């Protein structure tokens, strides 16, 4: 009962924030402003939903509340793939390959990468979670540096322009990909939705899940494939937002006392959208800052993350 | 006796390699300068003194300095994975420069340096506090907390950079680059030299401090003073290098670990090697960056980031087995 009430309140906040974001202080040129804001709102919703889904699924199958795909370096891998594709094309310009085809090739490579992740994380021997975490973070920075490295090699003169192309953000969204990304998101959600109920069992741990008759390894592989797709969607649209995942999942666990993952993923999606839309609105119109919401999210998320790991190590 | 002789041979080898790299660094670049021309062609001599010589000297000093800074931090924290990169020091230095630019737009090199020093020192004190809170001594946990601490500092800095429209500037310090080192703009790095010498003289005290508070007190050493002096030395090295060339990651982390893997943990014995290997490593990376896409340059921050990152990863994997 309490859960339902909280859910309604949060959905209410989301609708209010979206309305404000769309119609606050529109000025004279209504058509132009509304269509631009509409695209931005849609992008934020797509990003919010894909980050929420991928983070909740990843945390459940790895059985902890610290790891998220972005902290494990998934986003950096996607950016590295995109850079490698441009690099291999050889022609020293970024026009030869369209954004859409680059996205799709990188998507296929990400699916292959999920096999690697499966081998690294779900091998028989159990690894210390802090080791995994540190390795993931170092790999993430390493991949980003490697991407920068290749970008300089491709074209040292236009390095800064290239960087802009590669590292999109909430202020400079990659709207050319919005349609393709939305279709990918909807497709992955439709695919994964019937498997979500198994997450409730997987959350009990590997041994219990197998005992209860699940084809554990097969399911994990399926979930990892979907996570790769979802990370690609959000990274291609707005670039890496390292701590959004950890922030929204922990908020969700805090607010809702449920372990039904079918509900959890959607609740978390709404919370992620609220964070992005309300945050962006608040920063842009109320505080009048020229900063972007991802910086604030990285700050708050970073503090939450630090708090969470300090808490886990105490237990 | 025999062992000692062997040591001298290794040291001699390291010195030779470093000197060879210095030579290559002095005579590599877009303008073709031969050694024989230096004394006949005044224009080339001037070019050499204004650009090549400062660049090479700062490579040597910063390489040695950062490596020693990592060494000191690892002794104090008694953790192999602690370094300016994994304790938020680099981010704190960037933050210090940023605030000096915001508050005093006309700040000179020295002004920026002092501000960076202040922030770096404060950040290292806070980091030590975090370490002391952590009772559970998982060796991987402390660098993890340090990286997060750095991320939080970085987010605050970016926020203010955005507010004041100087994001472009902060991006520049993110990536170490020696191509702008020139006469008149690099002299702050000379500060590193006395620190390196002092560290060598006081190496034994750092070893004792590494054994813990009560042990140090038993031997009549003031734990707090030595730790603070050590952290101050580290802050000075880090802020001097970030102000002159920008952030260079991983040197203080990777070099001391490699040296201690080869030579063991005797601080006074290994300290000169750390300095030498650090200098040689930076020289090597810089030369590689200069010739790979000639006549352009790959910033050294990237070269070191890739090579050092891979090495760090190998170290973690080795440790986890």
- Over residues A70-96, the pLDDT tens digits come to 888 888 999 888 888 877 875 555 556
Residues of B with CB under 8 A from a CB of A: 81, 133-134, 136, 138, 140-141, 143-145, 147-149, 151-152, 155-156, 158-159, 162-163, 165, 175, 249, 292-293, 296-299, 302-303, 305-306, 309-310, 312-313, 316-317, 319-320
Q: Nearest Cβ partner of B302 from A131, A138, A145?
A: A145
CA distance B122 to B36: 49
CA distance B187 to A309: 42
CA distance A65 to A246: 8
Distances (CA, A) of A133 to A247, B151, B162: 16, 15, 30
Of A68 and B166, the structure prediction assigns the larger pLDDT to: A68
Average pLDDT over residues A110-126: 79
A58 has a pLDDT exceeding 90: yes
- Please say whether the dihedral angle defined by the alpha carbons of residues A128, A130, A131 and A136, taken in this order, is positive or negative: positive
Of B194 and A152, the structure prediction assigns the larger pLDDT to: B194
CB-count exposure of residue A167 (10 Å: 0-12, 13-18, 19+): middle
- Please say whether the dihedral angle defined by the alpha carbons of residues A262, A265, A268 and A269, taken in this order, is positive or negative: negative
In chain A, what is the straight-line distance between the N-terminal and C-terminal CA atoms, in Å? 31
String of DSSP letters for chain A? -HHHHHHHHHHHHHHHHHHHHHHTT--S-HHHHHHHHHHHHHHHHHHHHHHHHHHHHHHHHHT-SS--TTTTTHHHHHHHHHHHHHHHH-SSSSSSS-HHHHHHHHHHHHHHHHHHHHHHHSSSSPPPHHHHHHHHHHHHHHHHHHHHHHHHHH-STTHHHHHHHHS--SSS--GGGHHHHHHHHHHHHHHHHTTHHHHHHHTT-HHHHHHTT--HHHHHHHHHHHHHHHHHHHHHHH---TTHHHHHHHHHHHH-----HHHHHHHHHHHHHHHHHHHHHIIIIIS--S--HHHHHHHHHHHHHHHHHHHHHH-
Give the SS3 label for residue B316.
Answer: helix
- Residues in A touching B309 (Cβ below 8 Å): 138, 141-142, 145
Cβ of B309 within 8 Å of Cβ of A306? The answer is: no
Distances (CA, A) of A211 to A124, A201, A205, A206, A223: 17, 10, 10, 9, 20
- Residues of chain B short of pLDDT 70, as ranges, are 1-6, 135-137, 168-174, 321
Cβ of A128 within 8 Å of Cβ of B140? The answer is: yes
A8 has a pLDDT exceeding 60: yes
Q: How confident is the model at residue A94, as a pLDDT?
A: 54
Domains annotated on chain B, with CATH: 2-320 (1.10.3470.10)
Q: What is the ipTM of this complex?
A: 0.81
CA distance B145 to B132: 12
- Please say whether the dihedral angle defined by the alpha carbons of residues B53, B55, B58 and B63, taken in this order, is positive or negative: negative
Question: What are the backbone dihedrals phi and psi of residue A63, each rounded to the nearest 5 degrees, phi first?
Answer: 60, 40
Q: How confident is the model at residue B2, as a pLDDT?
A: 46
* DSSP at B188: G
Range of the domain at A202: 2-314
Give the distance from residue A194's alpha carbon to the nearest chain B alpha carbon, in angstroms. 37
Cβ of A290 within 8 Å of Cβ of B313? The answer is: no
Q: How confident is the model at residue B1, as a pLDDT?
A: 41
Q: How many domains does chain A have?
A: 1
String of DSSP letters for B66-102? HHHHHHHHHHHHT-TT-SSTTTTHHHHHHHHHHHHHH
Q: How confident is the model at residue A163, as a pLDDT?
A: 59
Q: How confident is the model at residue A86, as a pLDDT?
A: 78
Q: Which of A299, A304, A308 best probes binding to B when mutated, by most B CB atoms within 10 angstroms?
A: A299
* DSSP at B166: -
* CATH label of the domain that carries residue A231: 1.10.3470.10
Q: Nearest Cβ partner of A302 from B151, B298, B305?
A: B151
CA distance B132 to B150: 17
Q: How confident is the model at residue A164, as a pLDDT?
A: 56
Per-chain mean pLDDT for chain A: 85
CB-count exposure of residue B135 (10 Å: 0-12, 13-18, 19+): exposed
Q: Which of B83, B95, B134, B141 best probes binding to A when mutated, by most A CB atoms within 10 angstroms?
A: B141
CA distance A242 to B269: 42
Closest CA to B299 of B310, B311, B286, B308: B286
Q: How confident is the model at residue B176, as a pLDDT?
A: 78
- pLDDT tens-place string over residues A180-206: 999 999 999 999 999 999 999 999 988
Give the distance from residue A131's alpha carbon to the nearest chain B alpha carbon, in angstroms. 6
Closest CA to A75 of A243, A299, A271, A264: A243
Of B8 and A40, the structure prediction assigns the larger pLDDT to: A40
């Amino acid at each position: 009962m309490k859960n339902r009430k909280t859910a309604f309140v949060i959905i209410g906040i989301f609708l209010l924030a979206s309305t404000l974001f769309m119609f606050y202080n529109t000025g004279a040129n209504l058509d132009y402003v509304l269509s631009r804001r509409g695209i931005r709102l849609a992008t934020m919703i797509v990003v919010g939903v894909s980050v929420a889904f991928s983070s909740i699924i990843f945390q459940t199958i790895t059985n902890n509340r610290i790891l998220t795909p972005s902290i494990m370096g998934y986003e950096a891998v996607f950016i590295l793939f995109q850079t490698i594709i441009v690099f291999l094309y050889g022609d020293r310009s970024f026009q030869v390959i369209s954004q859409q085809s680059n996205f799709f090739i990188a998507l296929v490579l990400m699916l292959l990468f999920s096999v690697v992740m499966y081998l690294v994380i779900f091998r028989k021997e159990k690894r210390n979670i802090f080791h995994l975490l540190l390795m993931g973070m170092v790999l993430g920075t390493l991949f980003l540096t490697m991407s920068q490295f290749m970008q300089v090699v491709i074209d040292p003169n236009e390095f800064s322009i290239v960087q802009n192309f590669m590292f999109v953000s909430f202020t400079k969204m990659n709207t050319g990909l919005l349609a393709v990304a939305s279709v990918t998101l909807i497709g992955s959600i439709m695919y994964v939705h019937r498997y979500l109920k198994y997450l409730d069992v997987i959350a009990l741990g590997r041994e219990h899940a197998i005992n209860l008759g699940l084809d554990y390894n097969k399911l994990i592989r399926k979930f990892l494939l979907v996570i790769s797709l979802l990370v690609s969607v959000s990274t291609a649209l707005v670039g890496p937002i390292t701590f959004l995942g950890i922030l929204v999942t922990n908020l969700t666990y805090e607010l809702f006392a449920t372990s039904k993952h079918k509900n959890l993923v959607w609740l978390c999606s709404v919370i992620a959208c609220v964070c992005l839309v309300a945050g962006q609105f608040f920063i842009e119109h109320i505080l009048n800052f020229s900063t972007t919401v991802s910086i604030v999210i990285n700050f708050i998320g970073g503090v939450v993350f630090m708090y969470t790991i300090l808490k886990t190590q105490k237990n | 006796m025999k062992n000692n002789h062997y040591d001298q041979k290794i040291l001699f080898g390291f010195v030779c390699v470093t000197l060879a790299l210095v030579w290559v660094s002095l005579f590599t670049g877009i303008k073709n300068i031969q050694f024989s021309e230096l004394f006949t062609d005044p224009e080339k001599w001037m070019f050499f003194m204004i650009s090549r010589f400062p660049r090479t000297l700062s490579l040597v000093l910063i390489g040695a300095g950062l490596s020693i800074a990592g060494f000191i931090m690892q002794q104090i924290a008694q953790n192999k994975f602690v370094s300016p990169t994994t304790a938020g020091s680099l981010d704190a230095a960037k933050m210090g420069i940023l605030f000096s630019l915001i508050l005093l737009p006309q700040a000179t090199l020295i002004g920026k340096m002092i501000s960076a020093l202040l922030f770096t020192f404060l950040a290292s004190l806070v980091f030590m506090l975090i370490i002391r809170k952590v009772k559970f001594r998982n060796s991987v946990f402390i660098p993890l907390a340090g990286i997060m601490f750095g991320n939080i500092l970085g987010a605050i800095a970016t926020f203010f950079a955005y507010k004041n429209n100087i994001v472009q500037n902060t991006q520049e310090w993110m990536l170490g680059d020696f191509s702008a080192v020139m006469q008149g703009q690099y002299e702050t790095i000379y500060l590193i030299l006395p620190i390196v010498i002092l560290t060598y003289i006081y190496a034994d005290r750092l070893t004792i401090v590494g054994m813990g508070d009560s042990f140090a007190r038993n031997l009549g050493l003031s734990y707090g003073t030595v730790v603070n002096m050590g952290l101050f030395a580290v802050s000075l090295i880090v802020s001097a290098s970030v102000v002159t060339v920008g952030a260079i990651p991983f040197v203080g982390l990777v070099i001391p670990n490699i040296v201690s893997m080869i030579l063991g943990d005797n601080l006074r014995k290994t300290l000169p090697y750390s300095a030498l290997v650090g200098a040689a490593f930076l020289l090597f990376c810089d030369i590689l960056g200069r010739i790979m896409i000639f006549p352009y340059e790959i910033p050294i921050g990237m070269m070191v980031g890739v090579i050092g990152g891979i090495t760090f990863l190998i170290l973690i994997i080795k440790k986890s087995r």
